[in-house]
Structure formats: C-alpha cells, structure tokens
Amino acid sequence: MVTAALNPIYRCDAVSHAMNQGKESQILELLCAWRHVAVLHSREQWRLFFEKGKFDGRAMTRTGYEVVGTSFGQMIRQQSVGILGSFISCRATEFRNAANSSSLDDATKHQLHFINRWKAWFSFSRPLVMRDGTVIPVEVRRLARAIMRGILRRHRLPRLHRVGMVIDQRMVTLAASQSSRRYGWWLRLSTLEKGKPVWVPLVQTERMEARPGKRALTIQVNQDRETGGLRFGIVTDCSAQFAASREAYMPRCGSLALDVGLKTLLAANDGSRFGQRWGERLAWYDRRITALDKRLQRQGIRLNRSARYRAYVRQLRGWIESEIGRIMNRLVQTHAPASIVTELLDFRAPGLSRRLNRLIGAFGKHALQAKLLDLEQRFGIELVKVNPAYSSQQCNRCGYVDKRNRPRQSVFRCLFCGSQRDGDVNAARNLWDRRSAPAEGAGRHPRSILAGLVQHFNAQHPEPRERLNGTKGRAADPRPSNPYFRGWTDGVGLTGSNVRHR
C-alpha cells in the first residue's frame, strides 16, 4: 500500500506550441524581464552569502518587483536561491575532498569539516563551537576561507542571464483541450501587462500522455539558443507511481559493480558487458566532428556559427542519452540488483580527440548520473560511489598495482601472478571489493590510496621472488622496476612518503 506522505519526485516533458508571433513576443518580453531581475537577485544573494554565510530565500527585499510584480519577483528569488545553493553545494564537496587529501592533522581536518558542514567559510561574526565545546580558532577559519576562495576562483559563478522561467500556479494554469484534437492542452500564462494573460496551445505528445503521475502546477519556459524560439516543459509529480514500483521491485542479486569505459560502455564484476559497440560509434562521431572542425578552421568559421556542427552535437547528445537509458534499462531487467557500485565518472579516453572528450565528458557524465538517480528513485536501487583510483591497474586476484599490467585497453595481464582477463571486468571487480571499505572513500587522494595498496601488497608478499630456471618458469619479481614500489628492498615495504603519484 502506498503511503500518503511521499517525497516529491518530478519529471519534466518538453512540448511544442502553436502560438502566433504576437503571443510569443509577449512571453519573450516577460522572459527578458525575468532574466534581468534574476541577475539582480543573484548579486543581492551573493552579498548576503559573504556577509552572513548563507543565501536567504525569504529575505525581506522587493528587488525587481516594480518590473515584474510581486508574484513573479518571489518566484525569481526562489529560483535564484536554488541555483546558487546548488552551485555552493558542489563547491562544498570540493572543499571536503581538498581537506581530506591535505597533509593537515586530524584535528584540523575535523574542524575544517565542521566549518564546511555549516558553510561558515566567510562569516566571522560569531564563534563556532563544536559539540565537544571546542571553539574553532581564527587561524583555522582563515584557512577555510582561503581554501574556499581558491575553489571559487576555479569556477565561473552562475550569472543567471540565460536562466529559464519556472512559473507556479499563481501565474499559470494548465487545462486539457475539450474540442481541439491537435492541441492537447491550453496554457494560460500571465504577462507583464496586468489583466491580459496569454493563452498558449500546446501540442499533445505521446510521451507526455504516457507519463504516469499527477500534473504539477508548475511550467518551465526556456528559449532555444540556436533558433531563439520558446520551449515549454510540463512538470509531472511521479511520487506515488515510483513508490509503487519500489514496492513491486524484487532484486535478484546483491551488489553489482560497474566500470565505465569507452570501448565497452559498462562492464560488471560478474563478467557481463553492456554496450560493446559504444566505442565504434564514438569513433564514428569523432572522425566526422574532427574533419568538420579542420575544414571550418581553414575557412575561418567559428564552430558555434556552423549549423552542421551544432547538428552533429545535438545528434551526439541524443544518441548518448538514449543509449545510456537503453543499456541501463536492460541491466535492470537482466540482473535486478539491490545496489549498484559505481566509480566517480570520467568519460575521457586517450583514443579520441580532445574536442570529443569534452563533449562526451559533459553529456555522458550527466546522462549516466541522471539515469542512476532515476533508477534509485524508481526502483529503490541503492547507489554506492567509490574512488576508482588505480582500479584499472590493480590485479583483482593478487592485488599487485602496475601500469604495465594493462598493455592494451581491453586486456589485463598481471606481471606478478600472471592472471589474464578483460581489463574492464577486472576494474569492476576492484570497485566491488571497495564497496565496503570506508577508507577508500571518494574524498581520499589517489596518492594515499596507492600508498595503501602498495603497503598491503608488500605485507602479503614481503619476500622478493626470483626467476625460476627454465623457459616455463615464472617471471622475476616486477617490483624493483615499478616506480610505484620505488625504495622497495628485500623484506622492506614502502611508506606513504615513498609513493609517487602517476
């Protein structure tokens, strides 16, 4: 039985419209004013953030109300606070990783984490007292401020000058069409001119009609950057339907670790692989985009001015999203895991051009994260993220770490124990082993992880291994020629300071 108290889960479906230029000009005028006020609110919220240490969605301010009115002004303020808050949350994660990978003592790291937890990087108006009564010293707070300033310098702050409109029920109503078969919905949208709303006919789509759930009283309005036309999104609340699917979902296996690759999209720890022609299709796009890039450079044409290049990018993005969705749906049908162990996603590959690596790094990472979140909300599949540092170079059988273990992308051959298997499957098994090791967390520096792997291997194999006589004898110990084991001698292991990052 589905309970009444459910966390809201929203899905947005894009629909096309059929309005004339007069109506479109009125909505574009509202969108222009919306973006102008959003920029003003972002400046105001940043001032509050640096003064008080937080954004305030309920600030007593009437910024932009004289331009768009009270209701629209409140919506813009809430949207601006949400965007800026999401940006700061990502920077807080980077702060946590920077503190974990530093050489500071444990007490200082704990104090930095406390500051990060309360987002008190810039606010010095009152003392910070921890649970044990310890007052965080000013030196540590200044260090936290310096770290966050360095992190913010590496990123462009959200400008909100191209933000779309998120309009709730106060200024918009949506009703199904009673007579027209072509237009499934009619959208009544208030404009800057009071008492003169715009009625927008929305074209009915099969995907929107097939979407289960309750239509939320919220509409998204965006502007296409290429054509300048308007796009509408209808939001659906799928909370009840997803709660029912989570209750009906019956897992057939426990944890399933997935390694993300470019030749084969996903490799599981049980040896199964999904998307084996993924790399071939990416190479096809790479050849065409690279050839077009060279031709446009010779002609002196910028890439964003080329309609053909934009069409290639849209086609690539659509294919990546549909392929990832198809593969993940098939994985759930065949394995039905209770939890999925994944790495910190990185779609870059040395065999592809730099431009395509940037494209698939943005599209692929976002599409896979969105699909994993959808599976978690839809079926209740737990997501466990582990640090993938050196998982592709570590032997899952004996634990030996060496860059030479993987002579090719698809082949793993351990130089110590001689075991041979698919490289992606070996990496997936290493990720599966790390699922229950808190020490291998996402915030740990790769150098620290490598030091732990080396020390553990030397503890298991303290004695050097010599080459056996005969042509069929095993190879000599590869550690003396491995830079990861630099300083290793007979019976003497490495410390963390001896290990160098690759």
For 24-47, b/e burial (b = at least 16 CB within 10 A) is bebbbebbebbbbbbbbbbebbee
Q: What confidence score (pLDDT) does residue 142 get?
A: 95
Is 63 a residue whose pLDDT tops 70? Answer: yes
Lowest-confidence pick of 6-10, 106-110, 279-283: 6-10
**What per-residue confidence (pLDDT) applies to 473?**
53
Instruction: Identify each DSSP E strand in 265-336 by its residue range.
Output: 266-268, 273-274
Residue 470: strand pairing partners: none
Average pLDDT over residues 281-294: 88
Q: What is the mean pLDDT of residues 121-145?
A: 91
Residue 73 pLDDT greater than 60, yes or no = yes
Mean pLDDT throughout 398-403? 92
162 pLDDT above the threshold of 90? yes
Which pLDDT does position 147 carry in this prediction?
A: 96
pLDDT for position 228? 84
User: In the block, which residue shows the tokens 């470019």?
Assistant: 262
pLDDT at 3 > cutoff 60: no
Q: Is the pLDDT of residue 373 over 60?
A: yes
Residue 438 has pLDDT above 50, yes or no: no
In this prediction the pTM is 0.81
Confidence of residue 347 (pLDDT cuts 50, 70, 90): low
Share the mean pLDDT of the chain: 86
pLDDT at 500: 38
Q: Has residue 344 got a pLDDT over 90?
A: no
Higher-confidence residue: 38 or 463? 38
pLDDT of residue 85: 94
Q: Inform me whether the pLDDT recorded for 432 exceeds 50.
A: yes
Per-residue model confidence (pLDDT) at position 493: 43
Phi–psi pair at 51, nearest 5 degrees: -85, -45
Is the pLDDT assigned to residue 360 strictly greater than 70?
yes
* Separation of alpha carbons 116 and 135, rounded Å: 15
- The DSSP call for residue 406 is -
Torsion of CA 311, 206, 265, 269, to 10 degrees: 170
**pLDDT at position 1:** 35
> Quick check: 469 and 461 in contact, CB under 8 A?
no
Confidence class of residue 442 from pLDDT cuts 50, 70 and 90? Answer: low
- The answer to whether 361 touches 348, Cβ cutoff 8 Å, is yes
Residue with the larger pLDDT of the pair 465 and 413: 413
Give the residue, 141 or 434, on which the prediction is more confident: 141
